[in-house]
Structure 1
Amino acid sequence: MHISAKADYAARALLELACEPARPLTCEAIASSQDIPFRFLKSVVGELRKAGLVRSQRGCEGGYWLGRPAEEITLLDVVRAVDGELITLRGESLAGLDYPGAAGALPGVWRQVEEQAAAVLAALPLAALVPAGAVARRPGVGAA
């Protein structure tokens, strides 16, 4: 299984936003704190915005916030927002995969792997990954 750089960067950016719910963060700040290439992050954040996982505001007081509470955004949401399919075979969905003869059972195994990976990622909201006390340490922000 391959976890794309886009999915990794998207999850890391959203976790930064989850730690700063009271104020917007710029892409520059997120890229700097997570050591993510700025240009790549801008593209990833655009996809997260289209998926409704982040919202943005322009201007000197602008930046990005989570589009929904951290408790309502799972890692599965993040991966699907930036990558589409969770697991592909040579770039194709596993849905219609079919092999002849001796390998006939193999597509079922690949789909089972995808189902189990989806279950793990769906069970992990961003809030569960925010370090304990990370939000509470911020002035004027309540405990997570």
Structure 2
Amino acid sequence: MRVSAKSDYALRALIEMTNRTAERAVSAEELGRAQEVPSGFLQAILADLRRAGIVRSQRGQSGGWRLATEPTAVSVADVIRAVDGPLVSVYDMRPESVRYQASAEVLQHVWIAARVALREVFEEVTLAQLASGDLPDAVTARTAHEDAWQSH
């Protein structure tokens, strides 16, 4: 899986928003400056997050963006799906929809297993955990071994 700039920027902006909690709505420009994200690109990302019900916009002098729900109720998977679509796709199709010739059917099992593995991490980590830096033990355990930090 490749994490897109959209997903990375969305999560960075949401962590920033979560850390500011209910202080006030925050502008895309302010979020962009805080996380070094181009504000024009961030505006489009925030619109995707609004359509998914993750954030809401507020107009007026004290306008900007706020979380639409509690940060404990929003997972990394929710954010990725909101801005990029399914966690795993093959030719822009869900893995269970792809059809293979008999000898290659086994690939479908690999793609579905990969999706399950991603869900085990992405659906477990919430915005609240990202903002606090307190990740679930199951996620932290996956990074404990030195090999996890090596590219192959």
TM-score (norm 2): 0.82
| 3-state SS, counterpart of residue 88 of structure 1 | coil
**1:18 aligned partner:** 18
Which sections of structure 1, spanning at least 5 residues, go unmatched? 133-144
Q: Counterparts in 2 of 1:1-144, with a 5 A limit?
A: 1-22=1-22, 23-131=24-132
Compute the displacement of 1:129 (Å).
1.0
Q: Secondary structure at the match of 1:112?
A: helix
For 2:104 and 2:2, the matched residues in 1 are separated by 22
Identity %: 36
Q: Which has the higher helix share?
A: 2
- Identify the structure with bigger relative contact order (alpha carbons < 8 Å, sequence gap 6+): 1
Q: Distance in 2 between matches of 1:114 and 1:4?
A: 16
**Counterpart amino acid of 1:14?**
L
Q: CA RMSD in A?
A: 1.2
Please give the secondary structure, in 2, of the residue aligned with 1:36.
coil
**1 CA distance for matches of 2:126 and 2:79?**
10
The letter of the residue matching 1:17 is: M
Poorly superposed stretches of 4+, deviation over 6 Å: none
Aligned length: 132
Give the partner amino acid of 1:6.
K
2:50 aligned partner, one-letter code: R
- Distance in 1, Cα, partners of 2:130 & 2:102: 44
**Equivalents in 2 of 1:48, 1:15: separation in Å?**
13
> Structure 1-normalised TM-score?
0.87
Structure 2: distance between partners of 1:56 and 1:9? 18
Structure 2: runs of 5+ lacking an equivalent: 134-152
Q: Tell me, what secondary structure is at the counterpart of 1:64?
A: strand
